[in-house]
Amino acid sequence: MAEPNSAAGDRPLIQVVGLTKIYRVGVETIHALRGLDLTIGRNEMVAIMGSSGSGKSTLMNMLGCLDRPTSGAYMLNGRDVSRMGAKELAQVRNEEIGFVFQSFELLPRQTALENVELPLIYAQGGWRGRRQRALAALDRVGLAKRVDHRPNQLSGGQRQRVAIARAILNKPSILLADEPTGNLDSATTAEILSLFRQIHGEGQTVVIVTHEDEVAAHCQRVVRLRDGRVLSDLPIEQDIAGRHLPAVHAAASAAGKGGA
């Protein structure tokens, strides 16, 4: 991972230019992304928002290297990943991306520790000392005492913490969270979001895809999509200034105090 970082130099971490994605579902053609441009710098914490059909899921799949664009370029850490083959993309995902999903996606029969170790199974070398790395990651998310528990022995919040530990294990370029609090109650949501802020505070770039203003309020910057294009791209203070959502304002001011 040292190599792409040094190669990146002062370039932005994520640079997306004229990204389009066209799906064909039966006879219908769906333009999920229509020439989207986006730049995200190192150690930013960005929320990507939009209603369903706005293209935010498609964008997340692109940013996470799970899918390739129909046209346009995606420079991740100085490398064009938009034209890579399946094998190379798998390697990029392994090294550069840490996914956090709404439904956690833990392997049910494996312990928290084994779940966290999962990315190392597919790593190119560097799997030595895996136990220590996985334990360190679990410690960072506050689950040092739950390493031998299986997912069904953990609460929803704890499961998401395991998933976050798995995502940050390889020290990825991007921590990419897709509705990470969608399945959690509000108290747990707050805990998980403050964990994201803590990890961001330690230098991690975080991108959260969400449709909830309360979640977005914990980020520094909000990118809103509509019809496959960027509708607005503003710092959090300006984004919520135009809205009258007291709860969001409260969360944002809390974020301002506690966050970066």
Partner 1 sequence: MLNPLFWLQAITLAFSQIWANKSRAFLTALGIIVGVASTTAVIAALTGLKSKVLSEFESVGASKFFVFPDRPDNAPRNMYPWEKILLKTAEVKAIRDECTLVKAVTPITEVGLDVESGDKRIEGITVSGIWPDWHEVQNRFVQEGRPFSQIDVDSERQVCLINEDAIRELDLPANPVGEAVLLGGRRFMVVGIVETTQARFFGMNTSSAEIFIPFSVAEKMQERNFFMRIEGLFASPETAQEGEDEVRFVLRRMRGLTPGEPQTFQVAAIDRFIEQFKALAAGITAIAGGIVGISLLVGGIGIMNIMLVSVSERTREIGLRKAVGATPMAILMQFLLEAVTLCLVGGFIGIAFGRLAAFGLTRIPGAQLDQADIPFWAVVLSFAFSALTGIVFGMFPAIKASRLDPIEALRHE
Q: How far does CA 242 lie from the centroid of its chain?
A: 26
Residue from the set 18, 122, 129, 139 that interacts with partner 1 by CB under 8 A? 122
Closest distance to partner 1 from the beta carbon of 127 (Å): 4
List strand residue ranges (DSSP E) for the chain, in order: 14-25, 28-40, 45-49, 71-76, 79-80, 97-100, 174-178, 205-209, 221-226, 229-235
Residue from the set 1, 7, 30, 121 that interacts with partner 1 by CB under 8 A? 121
For residue 190, state whether it binds partner 1 (rule: CB under 8 A).
Answer: no
Choices 28-36, 60-68, 140-148, 226-234; region in contact with partner 1 by CB under 8 A: 60-68
Residue with smaller CB distance to partner 1, 13 or 116: 116
Q: Both tokens of residue 15?
A: 């640079």
Q: Read off the DSSP letter of residue 136.
A: H
Size of the site for partner 1 (CB under 8 A): 28
Length of the chain (residues): 260
Rounded Cα–Cα distance for residues 133 and 130 (Å): 5
For residue 91, state whether it binds partner 1 (rule: CB under 8 A).
Answer: yes
Q: Both tokens of residue 77?
A: 């850490």
Choices 44-52, 124-132, 201-209, 222-230; region in contact with partner 1 by CB under 8 A: 124-132
Q: Both tokens of residue 175?
A: 């921590």
Residue with smaller CB distance to partner 1, 21 or 221: 21
For residue 131, state whether it binds partner 1 (rule: CB under 8 A).
Answer: no
For residue 95, state whether it binds partner 1 (rule: CB under 8 A).
Answer: yes
- Strand arrangement of the beta sheet that strand 45-49 belongs to: 97-100, 174-178, 205-209, 45-49, 221-226, 229-235
Residue with smaller CB distance to partner 1, 210 or 220: 210
Binding region for partner 1 (CB under 8 A): 61, 64, 66-67, 86-87, 90-91, 93-95, 97, 99, 101, 105, 107, 109, 118-125, 127, 130, 166
